[in-house]
Amino acid sequence: MLSFLSPAFVIAAAGPWALAACAFIIFAESGLLIGFFLPGDSLVFLLGMVSASMTLSDSPVSGMPLWITCLIVSVAAFTGDQAGYETGKHSGNIRRIKSWVQGKNRNRIKRAQRFFDDYGSQAIILARFVSILRTFVPFIIGMTHFNHRRFIIANLVGAVI
């Protein structure tokens, strides 16, 4: 029995839209704060296997060249992190969040800012490989107003890896 979150079920249920559905899930997992439970890692590996396999002729992804699949997945991951960064950056300007930060949590934001100033690029790249961090690190980095140019470079490297 297939779970509705299993990668095989997602690819089979999406039919000809399988690659687009998987790209959206990867985008949502890294760009939307509610996407932390989605099966992005498993989808990436399954997409690669199905794309590279010529024996699965009934799969809509099997005829797609592997490099196109990798490119689409990388773009989805990159834009997802960009969306997370921008959401965090702009949510830091909301009056309610500012008043919350000015309380005892202000020190936590300052500690996060110091941490990302020292290890930000490495944290962005390594967060790609831990599902919960993949969702929340871009948002928190955006809240700390991390250097956007450094974020884009590290995000691009992480997405391609």
Q: Which of 148, 152, 90, 143 is nearest to 125 (CA)?
A: 152
* Highest mean pLDDT of the ranges 2-6, 27-31, 109-113: 27-31
Q: Looking at 92-106, 107-121, 144-158, which range is the least confident one?
A: 92-106
Identify the pLDDT of residue 65: 75
| Mean pLDDT of the region 108-135 | 82
List pLDDT tens digits, range 28-71: 888 887 777 777 677 776 777 666 664 444 555 556 677 888 88
| Mean pLDDT of the region 20-35 | 82
| Mean pLDDT of the region 105-111 | 72
Q: Is residue 79 very low, low, confident or very high in pLDDT (cuts 50, 70, 90)?
A: very high
List pLDDT tens digits, range 35-46: 777 776 777 767
- Domain residue ranges in the chain: 3-160
Do 44 and 26 meet the contact criterion of CB atoms below 8 Å apart? yes
Q: Which residue has the higher pLDDT, 1 or 19?
A: 19
Nearest-Å Rg of the Cα atoms of the chain is 18
